[in-house]
């Protein structure tokens, strides 16, 4: 499964985790999320550390998701441990001002 979602009601947080290729194949899933965001959502963690490849369509989908979240005053945190992806995200998605965090492993 290329995308997994988890909503933690107690924290008003949505966790999205992507794996494999981040491309147009997850467009319907991301559109469905944008349509059904909880009104009281405060934070969204977008974990792209499990993706193999980030395509232009994936960057566009992340940008669309980000805009939808920001319009609802949701804090967006993008997690990635791949420096190539971290470098590509700000350049390819100029509106994506979420901060990037390296994966924390025990």
Pair type for strands 75-79 and 99-101 = parallel
Lowest mean pLDDT segment, chosen from 5-14, 15-24, 56-65? 56-65
In this structure, are residues 3 and 22 in contact, taking their beta carbons and an 8 Å threshold?
Answer: no
Q: What is the pLDDT of residue 59?
A: 84
The pLDDT tens digits of the residues spanning 19-52 come to: 999 999 999 999 999 999 999 999 999 898 889 8
In this structure, are residues 17 and 47 in contact, taking their beta carbons and an 8 Å threshold?
Answer: yes
Q: Which domains does the chain have, with CATH numbers?
A: 3-101 (3.30.750.24)
Residues 6+ apart with CB under 8 A from 85: 48, 51, 54
Percent of the chain with pLDDT over 70: 77
């Amino acid at each position: 499964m290329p995308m997994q979602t988890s909503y933690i009601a107690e924290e008003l947080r949505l966790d999205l985790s992507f794996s494999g290729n981040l491309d147009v194949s997850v467009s319907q899933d991301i559109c469905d999320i944008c349509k059904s965001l909880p009104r009281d959502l405060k934070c969204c963690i977008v974990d792209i550390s499990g993706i193999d490849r980030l395509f232009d369509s994936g960057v566009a989908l992340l940008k669309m998701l980000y805009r939808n979240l920001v319009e609802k005053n949701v804090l967006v945190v993008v997690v990635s441990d791949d420096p190539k992806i971290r470098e590509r995200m700000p350049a390819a998605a100029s509106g994506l001002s979420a901060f990037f965090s390296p994966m924390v492993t025990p």
